[in-house]
Chains A and B, each alone.
Chain A
Amino acid sequence: MPNVTQKVWLTFEGGRQNEPCLWKMTQAFPKVQFDIRQASVQADIGIMAVLFTGEEVDVERSLALLKKLGVKVDPVVGGDLIVG
């Protein structure tokens, strides 16, 4: 299967910033590459821009695992969520 790439923002809050969430993900999906492009981690919140590369099914599953671990996963779309 061809590799895919996904650009995402990961937000670590509520104690997740102190847990090895990415390490847990790599244990479950060792073939998924993650490339941290930008990060800002403070006491109560951490935000990372990460590029994921791998087989589509693995990338999707690895992101699903991060969500399950309590990490907020947002695709890099660059736009706003315009409600009103």
Chain B
Amino acid sequence: MSYVQALTCKECGKEYPIEPRTVCDVDFGPVEVTYDYQKMKGKVTRASIEAGPRSLWRYKDLLPIEGEPKAGLHSGWTPLRRADRLAAELGVKELYLKDDSANYPTFSYKDRVVSVAMTKAIEFGFDTVGCASTGNLAHAVAAHSAAAGIRAFVVVPDNLEGGKMVGMTVFGPRVVRIKGNYDDVNRLCSQIADKYNWAIVNVNLRPFYTEGAKTHGHEIAEQMGWKLPQHTVVPVAGGTILPKVYKGYKEFIQLGLVDDNNPVIHAAQAAGCNPVVTAIREGRDLFHPQKPDTIAKSIAIGNPADGYYVIKDVTSSGGSGESASDPQIIDAIKLLARTEGIFTEPAGGTTLACAIKLIQSGKIPSNESACVCITGNGLKTVEVMDGQFAAAPSIGAKIGEFDELIQQLEEQRTTNSNSKTTASGV
């Protein structure tokens, strides 16, 4: 049974039937899936959700599909980790990490949104799906379409480095290189969707695709024991995930599945591409588009489609915007790996670096609970860590040389420990 009501314009409220559509005909505002929450009451319960599969599809009643899921059957339900070692370093009491770097099958939160978009594409009867992307989205579209047996097109600019192609081409999509920049590629995708009647997941299926991001928030709430963190720090790229995590929280509150603790949502962006954070700080509703210049490529969107709604949600929740420089992002990646054993991509490093700054500034008080959203895996972007670590010692295959090395390392450790004690004045 589906509880979906309509596609509703976020600006004027005009309703449309459930169909492939991106914007409202009247004011070009984005359309969003709306549900009959009254009808869900008493039917969508903690027990009904807990009885569902260990995947994002346990929240099927809150997703815009009609029948059974047809893609991403093992996506979602990623670990929510209580990060005590990291919390101790940062001086906070209760810190959680929602770890989509472990998402299946392509190790980013995009597996959630593409699972829903792909299912919807099959329901609508599309025989071809596509996207314009060079990273996590392309990987997810290529992998999920391979598993579903649907033809996929990934459109990229023709100057793309060869290395980036492997992660998508291995799944067998048709990759098309376009002579032009990303603006040109994106525009062409929109025309392709219209002319060829293909499902471009983040264009004509965008209202359905974005709903998949809610499950990141649903899982945080359920995995915390049916309660919400007081603070949630979410990265902002196009602005898909932050409003949807918040929508997920609000849905659970409305259905009485969690208590309303007035959850605060904070936005994280790289300093080299922070149009939304800048607008929040300056108290503006609108952001100035920017030309990205950061190592955090997966969140480097200078003109985010849903940036306006991010500003609205962050502000209305009482949250803040924070941004981090590239060196701060690298330091945060290292800190997360060293303390919690999670290797995240620069987007995750950005989110943690911003969370640290929010803690240091008191915007996340040390005695309140906080969750940091880790949205992708560092093994996909190892190049950003080049030159970050000293070369490992190389020795002969003799136990004597190994003994000597251990002695040197012990001496170094003692020296470092003594200098730290002296520096702290203890």
Residues of A within 8 A of B (CB): 7, 9, 11, 13, 37-38, 40, 42, 44-45, 47, 49, 72, 74-84
Contacts and interface: CB of A to CB of B under 8 A. Distances in A.
A12 to B, nearest CB: 11
Given A7-B28, A13-B288, A83-B292, A76 B203 contact: no
Nearest to B21: A78
B377 interface: no
Interface stretch (B94-102, B181-189, B362-370): B181-189
B286 A78 contact: no
Nearest to A47: B286
A82 B134 contact: yes
Main secondary structure of the interface of A (DSSP, over half): strand
Contact of B285 (A38, A40, A49, A84): A40
Nearest to A46: B286
A75 B190 contact: yes
Contact of B300 (A13, A44, A74, A83): A83
A74 B292 CA distance: 17
Main secondary structure of the interface of B (DSSP, over half): loop
Size category of the B interface is: 35 or more
A84 B203 contact: no
Contact of B301 (A40, A74, A80): A80
A49 B27 contact: yes
A10 to B, nearest CB: 11
Contacts of A84: 134-136, 296-300, 347
Contacts of A72: 289
Interface in B386-417: none
Contacts of B285: 40, 42
B264 interface: no
A82 B22 CA distance: 16
B378 interface: no
11 contacts: A38-B27, A42-B286, A78-B23, A79-B22, A79-B132, A79-B189, A79-B305, A80-B240, A81-B183, A82-B237, A82-B238
B27 A82 contact: no
